Structure 1
Amino acid sequence: MASVTYLRSIANNTPYTLTVIDGENRSHSLAIGAQHAWNGSLAVPWIGKSSENHKALRLILGPAAGTSIWLYQDYWQPAHEDAIKQLTASTMEYASEEAVEVPGDNRNGGNKNLIISLVNRQFTLYMA
């Protein structure tokens, strides 16, 4: 049986405000200021096919909110591992070959912390 991942904290270690939009409940969004953190409970949505793209969490960062990072829990790739993946793109596409697992403790569900940093002008995510 699949395990759900809950983000219990999001640390925004960038010089930009981070906006998080919950694709399953678009009226639920939050803004995390530069060099600030959010604490609470946010489920990472399951996605297993392209028709579910709308469910992903959208992280918007950068000058003029120019970068979107899509965050989701992959139901199938790899199966039974509950991997959290990210895709940096203007639109979410489950089948994209650009989607990668978030570095760190991203598998097996449970309570996790997400850390977002800016390294060499690239946004990086890390799960702890």
Structure 2
Amino acid sequence: MASVTYLRSIANNTPYTLTLIDGENRSQSLAIGAQHVWNGALAVPWVGNADENHKALRLILGPAAETSVWVFQDYWQPAHKDAIKCISAAAMDYSSNDIIEIAGDNRNGGNKNLIVSLVSRQFQLFMA
């Protein structure tokens, strides 16, 4: 049985505003200022094939909002682990070889915190 992951907080540890757009519910969009934290409850969408690309959370970051990081919960790879994954790309593509699991406590569902940082000019995500 799959376990849903809920983001209970998102810490934006970057010098840029982070805009989040929920692909499943666009009215669930929010903006988190530089060095600020959002608290609430946001389900991480399930994506299991390319037909579901539109469901992923889109994090828009950087000067002139040039970077998009797509976040989703994968119920197939690895099976029954409910891994939270991401890809930094112009568009979400479930079949991309560039998709990675987010570092930290990213499996098995439940309440999690997402931390977004800027390290060596690259955006990094961490789940706690």
TM-score tier after normalising by the smaller chain length? over 0.9
Cα distance in 2, alignment partners of residues 49 and 75 from structure 1: 10
Cα distance in 1, alignment partners of residues 47 and 121 from structure 2: 29
Deviation at 1:75, TM superposition (A): 1.2
* Percentage of pairs with the same residue: 77
**TM-score, normalised by the number of residues in structure 2:** 0.99
Aligned length: 128
CA RMSD of aligned residues (A): 0.4
- CA deviation vs aligned residue, 1:92-122 (integer Å, no higher than 9, x gap): 0001100000000000000000000000000
Instruction: Give yes or no for the alignment of 1:107 onto 2:107.
Output: yes
Deviation at 1:26, TM superposition (A): 1.2
Q: Which runs of structure 2 are paired with 1:1-128 in the superposition (5 Å)? A: 1-128=1-128
SS in 1 for 2:31: strand
Gapped regions of structure 1 (runs ≥ 5): none
Cα distance in 2, alignment partners of residues 115 and 78 from structure 1: 23
Gapped regions of structure 2 (runs ≥ 5): none
Cα distance in 1, alignment partners of residues 104 and 53 from structure 2: 23
Cα distance in 2, alignment partners of residues 6 and 27 from structure 1: 17
Cα distance in 2, alignment partners of residues 31 and 52 from structure 1: 24
Cα distance in 1, alignment partners of residues 45 and 28 from structure 2: 13
**TM-score, normalised by the number of residues in structure 1:** 0.99
- CA deviation vs aligned residue, 1:29-71 (integer Å, no higher than 9, x gap): 0000000000000000001000000000000000000000000
Which amino acid in 1 is paired with 2:35? Answer: Q
Task: Point out the more displaced range, 96-105 or 21-30.
Answer: 21-30
Which amino acid in 1 is paired with 2:73? Answer: Q
